Structure 1
């Protein structure tokens, strides 16, 4: 029974060994699950005529606005490239990390982007969610009071904003149900929309169609100046 006397001494060592073993097993299971997930993503991409990249850090440069450009460990996770209705397309999951005390939080965002005909200044249109007159009197104000009430417009070029958000475009955005929930931006060579959360490939066509329809509203002369 002398071994019983050793239990208080041995227990911390045994517990430490078990913790290491469990950590190794857990990491192995996660790695196996990730390999299986990547295989499924690759197969899905082939079926849809897309190119798949499991990790792509170049996605961090897609935009300078949040959720891009914030946090650390910025990476495109499960990134797909191809074409949608004649326009180059890239979509996937963008991740960045933030630290608080001793914990690290990973923030996933789904993104869908379609290529513009040429580089253009930043222009962001989102649903105005604040309440009251003081919250909405921000950003660019257009001639449509109804549009100003419903949307927030931020831009690096007021000329570009006025040309893109012409009366026809404003009327369309006010009437289109998707615009009530989907914010979008033009930035550089891309039209982009993002959503907090993990990538859901079945949603991509919805967002890509919306972006394509928005781009189609822009007058041709806007791409020439």
Structure 2
């Protein structure tokens, strides 16, 4: 029986291999290129989901070429921590802001932060539109573009399309049937033709550096590994085999620059045990450990200050008992703590529930619990507002001429 199962598995494997070779041959006969293991560069500059999300990004089989009209295209298999599938795309003549067009009951892509917009009459009922600016969406979706979108959707229920800089991308293209894929790409190119014919030059976006990109974080960049950080960051010093993984640097707008990564290390211990014959033996046990490191660099050193959730013991006492019940603040300078954690700052902290953080000289170190795009972005937004809430006189006492982070919202003259 086992032999029969093994033989059947071998036969199926041979059949699958032959079919794959025939499929690749049919692609090349069209003048297209097939790459079995493309580099990350193939999708690194794409930022709209499913691209631009998370640290795990794996392109696989890739088909490239030109449509009948000569427009470059790419059809690629892609997987991340949140999605796996195929994406088809053609190149636009301009780099444009993000736009989402979804037909039927299509679910929005994971991580999309665009706002829902009214669907134009020319597109008809049953569509979902998303963009950051309603005026932009209205200018793109001309009757000519809508007509081409309806034509593309006619052969593809549940169309999920996006403008991603100079790429017009669609999830789940009909890539299995080469005879169907060619006409479908031509129809997608027709949508691109209609968008290119629309006067949108005033929406052209700046070209981003050719690097591992992040959705809505243009100034973040991927490094990967930088073990020199282990010497200058507050990582655990115990154990051995220390290494960094998924190192990210960047900043958000005018906020402070950050470094974030996962620190891995091992500890080894010897333990005794009793074997099956009752004899005492020893063995070496190696355990793996990891921690998330996230730090933001300040423009000037500050007195040490720690803000964390309530734990055993009490920190500095503030006038708000509700705040004292929620947070433990410690600092060798009580005056500095009172100057920074004023009543408005307390309200902000209680509303924000940040990860524990500690100011050490010119760095703010967070304990985010996990190393993720979301945790970095959350702490980045929080810290920018927290720093903006520090009074001007504190910054001046530290040697700056003025507050380096202006408030993000209007305040009364006396605040």
Task: Check whether TM > 0.5.
Answer: yes
Question: SS in structure 2 opposite 1:209?
Answer: helix
The counterpart of 2:250, out of the listed 49, 67, 82, is: 82
Alignment match, 1:186: 359
User: Which has the higher mean CA deviation after the structures are superposed, 199-208 or 149-158?
Assistant: 199-208
Shift of the 167–79 alpha-carbon distance from structure 1 to 2, 3 Å rule, reads: same
Looking at structure 2, the residues matched to 217 and 98 of structure 1 have their Cα atoms a distance apart, in angstroms, of 42
Give yes or no for the alignment of 1:44 onto 2:220.
Answer: no
Cα distance, 1:69 vs structure 2: 4.0
* Structure 1 length-normalised TM: 0.65
Alignment match, 2:339: 163
Cα distance, 1:106 vs structure 2: 2.8
Shift of the 174–201 alpha-carbon distance from structure 1 to 2, 3 Å rule, reads: closer
Shift of the 57–146 alpha-carbon distance from structure 1 to 2, 3 Å rule, reads: same
The counterpart of 1:99, out of the listed 248, 268, 277, is: 268
Question: SS in structure 1 opposite 2:314?
Answer: coil
Shift of the 174–95 alpha-carbon distance from structure 1 to 2, 3 Å rule, reads: same
The counterpart of 2:297, out of the listed 103, 110, 115, is: 115
How far does the alpha carbon of each residue in 1:45-80 deviate from its partner, in whole angstroms, 9 at most, with x for none?
A: 5884425141323244223xxxx3441344432211
How far does the alpha carbon of each residue in 1:72-102 deviate from its partner, in whole angstroms, 9 at most, with x for none?
A: 3444322111222222121121234333322
Alignment match, 1:151: 327
Contact residue 117 and residue 223 of structure 1 kept, 8 A? no
- What is the CA RMSD across the aligned residues, in angstroms? 3.0
Structure number with the higher helix fraction is 1
Shift of the 194–207 alpha-carbon distance from structure 1 to 2, 3 Å rule, reads: same
Matches within 5 A, 1:59-70: 59-63=230-234, 68-70=235-237
State the aligned residue count: 177
Larger RCO: 1 or 2 (CA < 8 Å, sep 6+): 1
Looking at structure 2, the residues matched to 45 and 59 of structure 1 have their Cα atoms a distance apart, in angstroms, of 24
Contact residue 45 and residue 80 of structure 1 kept, 8 A? no
Cα distance, 1:116 vs structure 2: 1.5
Alignment match, 1:215: 387
Looking at structure 2, the residues matched to 201 and 115 of structure 1 have their Cα atoms a distance apart, in angstroms, of 18
Shift of the 153–205 alpha-carbon distance from structure 1 to 2, 3 Å rule, reads: same
Looking at structure 2, the residues matched to 126 and 98 of structure 1 have their Cα atoms a distance apart, in angstroms, of 28
Question: SS in structure 1 opposite 2:212?
Answer: helix
Contact residue 112 and residue 208 of structure 1 kept, 8 A? no
Question: SS in structure 2 opposite 1:138?
Answer: coil
